[in-house]
Amino acid sequence: MAKLTWKVYNSTQATDITQYVRSLTYTNGRPNAVSPYAGGSFSFTLTNTSNQATYAQVQDYISIEVKGTGAYAVAIDGRVTQREYNDGPGTALNSTVTISGVDSAALFGPENNIVAAAGGYDLLDKYSAAAYYAGLLGFTDIYMLPMATPNNALQAVNNVIAGDGGVVSRNTYYSPQDFDQITQTNFSFGRDTSATQIAYQTFNRVEATANGTFFTAATVTNQNGGSPSTASAVTDIILYYGARYIQVTTAESALTTTADWYANTFSDPAALTLLISFTDVAQNSTALDFLPANLFNEPSWTLVGYTPPGGSPTSGYFWPEQVTVNVDPSNTTVNLVLSPISYYGRFTLNDAVFGVLDIDRLGVS
């Protein structure tokens, strides 16, 4: 039987505490393609019959790792923020403690008005050096101008992402021109198991009108002030649905272009977000071995196939917008929110997956 193996490691104490873990859960990502990133969170329950809570104290740095038949890969890591005790009566043989924490991105919020060095600075590295957590690690290349932002650190990061139209793959930011680096073809998601396919046990299609990703107009404002830019979808969709505005704050200066992009990209009421779930024990072991690197450690653009009731087989590349994992001794259950590629088309030329003018469309052979 195929099965994933998990490890919980306390980096602060240099101690593997997996033997005391009864269950764990974590979430990375965001609910949909227009939501801000809030950082990831995790929680695990430890046996606490003899004060094992000391193995995971507040501010300790925890790494949650996973493997198939190969090496461990980090799925989420961050700081412990709180503990909750469930003390059993009598001999306390059923006593447990629930440990909760957040990843590095979630900790950027308290930092405000940090001025970058002249000539630009890696934004997250700059905030990492601030006083809130001295051990915070910067982990991506998001540059800012040499001026203070009126927003806190996490808002500033989201403003950059809102203008670029990029994604955060666990803890690394990728702009659209770099999407080919996080597009994998090792496995796909589908109805059946195979050595190259993960089979979903539940599958739901959610139209844009139902998950907060349908708009007919956009207003975009620069984070440092100035006049906003407003745009409407170029189709007549606004005549049927009225003005349904998305309001975006960005670090971009080309506000008109960004407003046009939002107003038109999210103007399809029937665009589908997919919600799928699967368990590890139901999978082919070869396909399962791809998940630690290509989903948990670094989520990637992945091909998804499905057949609507009464319809024809359909497939396309989707982005794992949100990854939620629940682990207990019997199995691992994974829940995914998958955004369509149409939400991220930022004019990439001649690319097999993201190209808007590939060889066929250019009319050459």
Query: Average pLDDT over the chain, rounded to whole?
Result: 84
- pLDDT tens track for 50-68: 999 999 999 999 999 999 9
| Residue found under tokens 């207003």 | 219
**Is residue 190's pLDDT more than 90?**
yes
Domain boundaries, the chain: 1-104+179-206+273-365, 121-178, 215-267
DSSP annotation of 355:
B
| Confidence band of 268 (pLDDT split at 50, 70, 90) | very high
Contact of 302 with 184, CB cutoff 8 Å: yes
**Is residue 358's pLDDT more than 50?**
no
Question: Which residue blocks in the chain are alpha helix, DSSP H?
Answer: 123-128, 153-164, 208-211, 237-241, 255-265, 285-288, 291, 359-362
Mean pLDDT for the stretch of residues 82-104: 88
| Confidence band of 14 (pLDDT split at 50, 70, 90) | very high
Can you give the pLDDT at residue 352? 55
Greater confidence (142 vs 157) lies with: 157
Tell me the whole-structure pTM to 2 decimals. Answer: 0.86
1-104+179-206+273-365 has CATH 2.40.110.10 classification: no
- pLDDT tens track for 290-337: 999 999 999 999 999 999 999 999 999 999 999 999 999 999 999 999
- pLDDT tens track for 205-244: 999 999 999 999 999 998 878 899 999 998 788 888 888 9
Contact of 49 with 348, CB cutoff 8 Å: no
String of DSSP letters for 123-160: HHHHHHTSSS-TT----S--EE-SSB-SSBHHHHHHHH
Q: How many whole angstroms separate alpha carbon 255 and alpha carbon 262?
A: 11
